[in-house]
A and B are shown apart, each in its own frame.
Chain A
Amino acid sequence: MTSKVHLDHAHLLHLLKAMIRIRRFEAKCVELYQAQEILGFLHLYDGEEAVSVGVIEALTPQDAIIATYREHGQALARGVDPGCLMAEMMGKLNGCCRGRGGSMHFFDRSHRFYGGNAIVGGGLPLALGVALADKMQGRSSVTACFFGEGAVDEGEFHETLNLAKLWRLPILFVCENNRYSMGMAVERAEADIDFVHKASGYRIAGEKVDGMDVVAVESAAKNAVDRVRSDSEPYFLECQTYRFRAHSMFDAQLYRSKDEVEEWRKKGPILRFRTWLEANRLIKAEELSTIEEAVEKEIAAAVAFAAAGGLEPVSEIDRFVTMEAIPS
């Protein structure tokens, strides 16, 4: 039953590239934010790349994804075009949502990407519905539902886990435990910091995985997805990770020390994976620079695409308040 992660060379480089793409994309977001090309709230994913890359690697295009406002990594790992994500953040008509959602609200129907959601916990009930619809329509799809550990404190989390188990819905719950919800340390928020244990309270099986190790995440996710699909049962993955940057762009980070962040940076998923590849002679210096150059180009192309985009005419602002038809 267990699916082995193919540790072939090309796949390893693919994983590395996917993580570097996210890291560079976020760095570009910061630049554009400082230049006031991107406005509003911006939640970056640095440090957590292995989670979305590893999990989404285990999904098929027929599977569905639900994410949070910190969803750049999920969208990129899913293969949504970086250009339309960048354009979305720059408020452009060629953005994935015409510039209406911004950083926190990427949607892409063609990739079954059911959205970033800026209400903590708000996406979880949607996962029930998407999985239920798939099940009732005879599709064998899995819904991957990403959320931060902060969402576990919301009632919607508990309602959703109970129903998911009760109705045997094919949902992979992915708890991105980055140890803080804004400034609230996990130990200060939880009576029990063992999230897998919490899931077991709903008789949902699960496991903790080192969210800084992309291969470990991918391997756990593959097994989990297989299991969810074949048993039509939810499963719970707690990915233990860390957010390197501030919560959003307005955060003086008074709640943690620089040393703590530095310690975690040393365990960073890209650094760690690259070091491992190098130590095992699985990557050559040229290969790394080829990846880095290719990603640089992609990001530059994304920014160019976004910059070239026009603005949605204000006269169209009422469109889709109510829909005229159901898109197919």
Chain B
Amino acid sequence: MSAPQTNPTATRITYREACKQALREALLADSRVFLMGEDIGRYGGCYAVTKGLLKEFGEERIRDTPLSESAFVGAGVGAAMAGMRPIVEIMTVNFSLLALDQILNNAVTIPHMSGGQFAIPLVIRMATGGGRRVAAQHSRSLEGWYAHIPGLRILTPATVEDARFMLKGALADPNPVIIFEHVMLYNMESDLSSDVTEVDIARAMTHRPGRDVSLITYGGSLSKALQAADALAADGIEAEVIDLRVLRPLDTKAILESVSKTRRCVIIDEGWRSGSISAEIGMRIVEEAFFELDAPLRRVCSREVPIPYAAHLEDACLPQTATIVAAARELVRPT
């Protein structure tokens, strides 16, 4: 944490550890910051993100809550209105449905409806996504739903660096921010350079440049898209991989620039296809860059079923490297 700026060294840490360091830094930096959520204290967090924080910061600031999603998210909204900087953890997006009233009807509505009298500087973190063989009620990807809502900022850290630094930006935002951490990323390890101390929370990022096709994705699908790009490269197809990072407000400019260059695009989204963020991205491309396209748009999304438990069935439902490769290849070299 206190490594000198002048001599950058990289440490290898997990995404989980990066999330924790971000929380710790926030708690140290501002006495108004506190954490609330189910089993974040003694248990250490259902994904062990908050492990150890109770011991360091005490029960006032690391608040274990009962199973009352609506009440503790609403408490976060109220506390933010009255001068605090709460960070609320909802175990997973699946359970956030019980708090949707507070998020939609209060957190994003009150600033506008009160004529700007109140800001709601609230950060909500939750795990999202499938792949852990935990069946339909624990495997949803609803970040696209949340991205539908004006007034929210939706962040989807897909890298250790973003997991480490997006929180800082989120806390500096005077508006409610939801951070979606994909469940399959917590164990991911990566080098974190000590000369990076912040990231923006506004723009998409190009992870790999390419001229033949854009692979536009976010969150848990980024690593699959990068693997797909490797496979395509072996075939002589240069794919450009864009990590959206922020689902709302969307970095439309980055999307259009990439597509205008490659003229072909596959959108990879773990949400369901119908009425999804992938549909929104596709529509923006059609509205703004229709004549730049050399091929129809393609999407790789989750199959429109409740995600099943059995491994072979779950795998068949989620976006996979092979399906991304096939979609991209079909666009570049139609059979």
Interface residues of B in 64-107 (CB under 8 A from A): 65-66, 68, 70-84, 86, 101-102, 105-106
Of A64, A95, A129, A137, most B-chain CB atoms within 10 Å: A129
- Tell me which residues across on chain B come within 8 A of A114, comparing CB atoms: 78, 81, 118
* Inter-chain contact A126/B112, CB cutoff 8 Å: no
- Tell me which residues across on chain A come within 8 A of B79, comparing CB atoms: 129-130, 132-133, 136
How distant is the Cα of A163 from the Cα of B69 in the complex, in angstroms?
Answer: 11
What is the number of residues of chain B that contact chain A, defined by CB distance less than 8 Å?
43
B64 CB to closest chain A CB (Å) equals 10
* Inter-chain contact B151/A127, CB cutoff 8 Å: no
Given contacts A129-B81, A137-B84, contact A100 B115 (CB under 8 A): yes
How distant is the Cα of A156 from the Cα of B71 in the complex, in angstroms?
Answer: 6
- Tell me which residues across on chain A come within 8 A of B81, comparing CB atoms: 114, 126, 129-130, 133
How distant is the Cα of A196 from the Cα of B18 in the complex, in angstroms?
Answer: 47
Given contacts A132-B78, A136-B60, contact A122 B112 (CB under 8 A): no
* Inter-chain contact A166/B101, CB cutoff 8 Å: no
Query: Is A257 engaged at the interface, CB distance under 8 Å to the other chain?
Result: no
* Inter-chain contact A156/B101, CB cutoff 8 Å: yes
Contact with A along B101-121 (1 / 0, CB 8 A): 110011000111111111101
* Inter-chain contact B101/A129, CB cutoff 8 Å: no
From A130, A155, A163, A321, contact of B65 by CB (8 A): A163
* Inter-chain contact B151/A322, CB cutoff 8 Å: yes
From A98, A126, A136, contact of B77 by CB (8 A): A126
Query: Is B150 engaged at the interface, CB distance under 8 Å to the other chain?
Result: yes
How distant is the Cα of A160 from the Cα of B69 in the complex, in angstroms?
Answer: 10
Query: Is B217 engaged at the interface, CB distance under 8 Å to the other chain?
Result: no
From A98, A126, A155, A320, contact of B78 by CB (8 A): A126
B309 CB to closest chain A CB (Å) equals 28
* Interface-lining segment among A7-15, A24-32, A44-52, A104-112: A104-112
Contact with B along A97-125 (1 / 0, CB 8 A): 11011000101110000110101001011
Given contacts A114-B81, A119-B105, A129-B82, contact A320 B115 (CB under 8 A): yes
- Tell me which residues across on chain A come within 8 A of B102, comparing CB atoms: 122, 125
Contact with A along B38-68 (1 / 0, CB 8 A): 0000000000000000000000100101101
How distant is the Cα of A66 from the Cα of B263 in the complex, in angstroms?
Answer: 54
Interface residues of A in 67-104 (CB under 8 A from B): 95-98, 100-101
- Tell me which residues across on chain B come within 8 A of A321, comparing CB atoms: 111-112, 150-151
Closest to B64 in A: A166
Query: Is B34 engaged at the interface, CB distance under 8 Å to the other chain?
Result: yes
Query: Is B174 engaged at the interface, CB distance under 8 Å to the other chain?
Result: yes
Query: Is A324 engaged at the interface, CB distance under 8 Å to the other chain?
Result: yes
How distant is the Cα of A119 from the Cα of B71 in the complex, in angstroms?
Answer: 14
* Inter-chain contact A134/B113, CB cutoff 8 Å: no
Query: Is A252 engaged at the interface, CB distance under 8 Å to the other chain?
Result: no
* Inter-chain contact B78/A115, CB cutoff 8 Å: no
* Inter-chain contact B83/A137, CB cutoff 8 Å: yes
Of A160, A320, A324, most B-chain CB atoms within 10 Å: A320
* Inter-chain contact B117/A97, CB cutoff 8 Å: yes
A87 CB to closest chain B CB (Å) equals 11
Closest to A156 in B: B70
Query: Is A162 engaged at the interface, CB distance under 8 Å to the other chain?
Result: yes
* Inter-chain contact B77/A326, CB cutoff 8 Å: no
Closest to A127 in B: B78
A78 CB to closest chain B CB (Å) equals 15
Query: Is B175 engaged at the interface, CB distance under 8 Å to the other chain?
Result: yes
How distant is the Cα of A20 from the Cα of B44 in the complex, in angstroms?
Answer: 56
- Tell me which residues across on chain A come within 8 A of B76, comparing CB atoms: 129
* Inter-chain contact B114/A128, CB cutoff 8 Å: no
From A109, A124, A134, A156, contact of B118 by CB (8 A): A109
From B75, B82, B151, contact of A134 by CB (8 A): B82
* Inter-chain contact B74/A129, CB cutoff 8 Å: yes
Between-chain CB contacts (< 8 Å), 15 pairs: A97-B113, A97-B117, A107-B113, A107-B117, A108-B117, A125-B77, A126-B106, A128-B78, A133-B79, A136-B34, A159-B71, A321-B150, A322-B175, A323-B116, A323-B175
A residues neighboring B (CB under 8 Å): 64, 95-98, 100-101, 105, 107-109, 114-115, 117, 119, 122, 124-134, 136-137, 155-156, 159-160, 162-163, 166-167, 319-327
Inter-chain pairs besides A126-B74, A127-B78, A129-B78, 8 sampled, C-beta below 8 Å: A107-B118, A109-B118, A114-B81, A130-B79, A160-B71, A320-B112, A320-B116, A324-B174
